[in-house]
Structure formats: structure tokens, C-alpha cells
Amino acid sequence: MKEIGNWVLNLSNSRGVQYAEARIVDERQRALATKNGKTGSASDSESLGLGVRVLADGAWGFAATEDLTRAGVETAAAQALEIARASATVKQQDVQLAPEKAHIDDWSSPCQIDPFSISIEENLDLLMKIDAELRSVEGVTLAETNLNFRRYEQWFYNSEGSDIHQLKHTTGAGYAAYSFQGTEIQKRSYPNSFGGQYQDKGYELISELKLLENAHRIGEEAVALHKADQCPQGRFDIVLDSSQLGLQIHESVGHPIELDRVLGMEANFAGMSFLTLDKLRNLKYGSELVNVVADATANHGPGLGTFAYDDEGVPAQCTPIITNGQFTGYLSSRETAHTIGENHSNGCMRAEGWNRTPIIRMTNISILPGTKPLTLDQLIASTDRGIFMQTNRSWSIDDKRYNFQFGTEIGWEIKGGKLGRMLKNPSYSGITTDFWNSMDAICSRDQWTLWGTPNCGKGQPQQVMGTGHGASPARFRNIQVGTAFKGAE
């Protein structure tokens, strides 16, 4: 691999580039799913290739190839240089790269059990058992399960002397029970919606999730939702479980802090950002209890946004995003750091694979837990009139990431500090800064979970990336509830 990297760097240097980098990626993925007792899909794929990025005449060029012969590699490097010089003819200004020293390192994510060492037959056996348990509940009309594994190995070399090898294993699993009655469909998912829970771990995550043990309860809740009362409309205090709060963070904090969106360099998938540069350290984003970080370091946990170095060779960092309610940071790159007065990148450039150029992506964007002991039961006990909402069902947000609406799979009425009746079709809406300023309580560390979002889309051509979001359950005061259902009527 080092020889391949040298072929790229030697050719680039001989032709006078300002900067060059080579990323070689060896990736394997397995995805299995069942649907109502039958195999829904099964795939096991491998990919190996090279991405070359060069900076010449003040502009970027990128090319990729799966031909790793010397001729193939040098052709890709020459093409990247040709693209850079063509781009320079229409550039508005020269790219300014923040300095970064050379790094030589070898890093692997924690993995106790290689997920690819478990046979497909054993994988499918587990999924079929979960599927059968879901369908054993009378009224469940559709059961879906899935397992996903990924092994991602990368070698990075650049013209500044970096030589970095990284290996990540990702494991994900989840399921959903659907109940169709009349014109209504109700759904319950576990351990989260849209694929379940994902972390950078080995197969050991599967036993930690207690998938089979929770299947019957999830099926029963899906059926029971048909007889539940419709979630009321109006203004209520709401308590969000940690998975829903994780998605709230993703959409109303994570995306708007991407500096390329702020600068107008990226506007795909729900647009740009309300967080213009003048708001940095000048905006009260939330209440004093709101502390959000962008943390890619291993100390934060096995999130999908955890790594040792980003795809520009910049070390993983923890960046304060919201500090005691004040907006304090963006996600940046070596190219964009100077726009916010920084002399270094905070390490947020990642590519989906070898054939995509790195772009600014979320790492682990997490809200820090409360500093005082507070369980979910205690939080509910201190709420007089409200609604507890669990597990995302739908989301919508405007192209500035300012106005939003979310629906969850299930809700529970809170009266006098106690959970009451089950509620169906709960939803809530708000304006980003008003919403975060209404947060008046958040549970402590023992209630905190680092959730994985494996399917965040950005860019064109689209890149699908994994991000992490740590959260504890939290309470928000006087929130508009029921707007999604009202709109549906």
C-alpha cells in the first residue's frame, strides 16, 4: 500500500502540485434482512480502490480508480492534476490550507468478535427467531429484521509526510413490527427506528442489545397503538427519549454547524444553514443546560463518528459546539478553518469510500448529560402535565435548519408526575433556537446512550455516512404538540 501511495506522491510532486494525498480503502459489507419469516435480502460485498486528491494552481482535483497497478495509479494521479488545473481556470479564489504536521500512526476501533467470523446461517437464524417472536403477537401483520456489518480499512499518505493506517468494524441491528388495521398502520421499532442501533464494535454489540428479549413487547405495543387515544393537540411540556433527542440533535444542530453549508459551498439535502458566521459566540442557541460537543475521539465512545484521523490526516478532536447554551463552534476542514479565524482544522473531513472526495461531515455530535443525578423516572415524576415521546417516526426541517416538525412512534401522557395512557401519532414542532432554549432538565450520565445513524446523506454525488449522537432523556417546556396529525387531517 505504501508503494501505491508513493506512486501517487512521486508523480504529483514531479509535476509541481502544492499538495497531494492518496487514500486506499479496502471495504467489506454484509447486510441481511428478513420479512415475515422469509429472507428479505442478503448481500456480502467487497471493494478495493484508490482516491487521489491534489491541490494545484489554487484549486482541487480528484480522481479515483480500482486499477491498483502502477499504470492505473499514475493515470488516476495525472487525471486528478488535470482536473485541478481545469478547476483553477474558473476559481473565485485560491484554496487556503490550514497547516497540519505529518502523522505516522496505526489505529483500530475496538472489536472483540469479528462480525464476519459469524456465519450467515447463524445470522439468519437469529433474525428468524426475532421475526417469529414478533409475529407470535396477534395483530402484527408485518415483521422486519436486519443485521449489518462493515469492515473499513484505510491507508492514507500525503505530500506532507503523513502515513496513517486505520481499521474500523461497524455492527448494526434492529427490527420493526407493523400492525395494519383498517386504514391505519402502526409501527414499533427496536432498539431504534430506521435500522436500529449501530456502533463501531464487533459482534459483541448483538448480545448487548437484547434483541430477542424485547421482541414480544415491541409487537404488543404496535398492536396496542390502534386502541390508544390520539395524541392531543396544543402546548405541552414534552420529555424526549434519548434516541429521539439524538435525531433532534442531528437535524437541528449537526447539519447547520457544517461550515461548508454555512459558506454556501454545499446546499444539497435540505439546503444551507441559519448559523451565519456572525452568530459564532454571539448566539444563545439553548438554555444553560445545553452543552453539545463534536467529539471524534475514542474517549467519547464507539460512535459511527469516532476515528483517529479524518480523511485529510487531521487528528480526531473534541470541539465545543454549544457551551452553556452559547453557540461556540462549527465543523471545519483545512480549507475552511480560516473563515472562522482558526489556524487549524477540527478534523471533520470524511469520504464514503475510495471513489468519493472528502467533505465536511458530522462526527459524534452529542449533548452532554446533566451533572446532577437524574433518572428518567425522576424526570417524569417532576413533570406535572406533559407527554413522553419515544422512537422517531418522521422528520421534516426547512432548508436553513430552523423550522422543524417531528413525529414519534409512541407517546405516553404524563399527569401529576406519573405515566398515564398510551398515545398514538405523537408529533411536535418548533423553531430550533426557541426549542433548545426551552430545555429545563436533562438526565444524568447513567441514562446517556451513544446512538448510531448509519444513513446520513450529503453531497452530490450523494455520500452516505455514519454519525453518532449521544443523549440522555430531556424535558422541553411549552412545546407545540400535534401539528403533524392535524396537517394530515
Task: Give percent of the chain with pLDDT exceeding 90.
Answer: 97
Cα dihedral sign, 466-472-477-480: positive
DSSP 3: H
> Would you say 115 and 172 are in contact if contact means Cβ atoms under 8 Å apart?
no
CA atoms within 13 A on the CB side of 481: 28
Percent of the chain scoring above 70 in pLDDT: 99
Instruction: Tell me the three state secondary structure of residue 125.
Output: helix
pLDDT tens string 279-296: 999 999 999 999 999 999
* Per-residue pLDDT tens digits for 312-328: 999 999 999 999 999 99
Give CA 421 to chain center in angstroms: 32
Query: How many CA atoms lie within 13 Å of 262's alpha carbon, on the beta-carbon side?
Result: 23
Per-residue pLDDT of the chain (489 residues; tens, 9 = 90+): 999 999 999 999 999 999 999 999 999 999 999 999 999 999 999 999 999 999 999 999 999 999 999 999 999 999 999 999 999 999 999 999 999 999 999 999 999 999 999 999 999 999 999 999 999 999 999 999 999 999 999 999 999 999 999 999 999 999 999 999 999 999 999 999 999 999 999 999 999 999 999 999 999 999 999 999 999 999 999 999 999 999 999 999 999 999 999 999 988 776 789 999 999 999 999 999 999 999 999 999 999 999 999 999 999 999 999 999 999 999 999 999 999 999 999 999 999 999 999 999 999 999 999 999 999 999 999 999 999 999 999 999 999 999 999 999 999 999 999 999 999 999 999 999 999 999 999 999 999 999 999 999 999 889 999 999 999 999 999 999 997 665 444
Contacts of 207 (CB under 8 A, 6+ apart): none
Q: What secondary structure letter does DSSP report for 218?
A: H
Query: pTM, whole model, 2 decimals?
Result: 0.96
358, three cell numbers: 472528502
Alpha helices (runs of H) in 402-466, residue ranges in sequence order: 432-437
CA distance 141 to 219: 10
Paired sense of beta strands 163-181 and 104-108, if any: parallel
Non-local CB neighbours of 433 within 8 Å, separated by 6+ positions: 283, 284, 285, 286, 402
From CA 304, how far away is CA 315, in angstroms rounded?
16
Distance CA 334, CA 315 (A): 12
DSSP assignment, residue 161?
Answer: S
- The three-state secondary structure class of 94 is coil
Q: How far apart are CA 64 and CA 299, in angstroms?
A: 33
Greatest CA separation for the chain? 74
Per 3-state DSSP, what percentage of the chain is helix, strand, and coil (rounded to 5)? 25, 40, 35
Task: Quote the CA–CA distance of 348 and 358 in Å, as a whole number.
Answer: 9
List alpha helices for 225-285, DSSP H: 242-249, 259-262
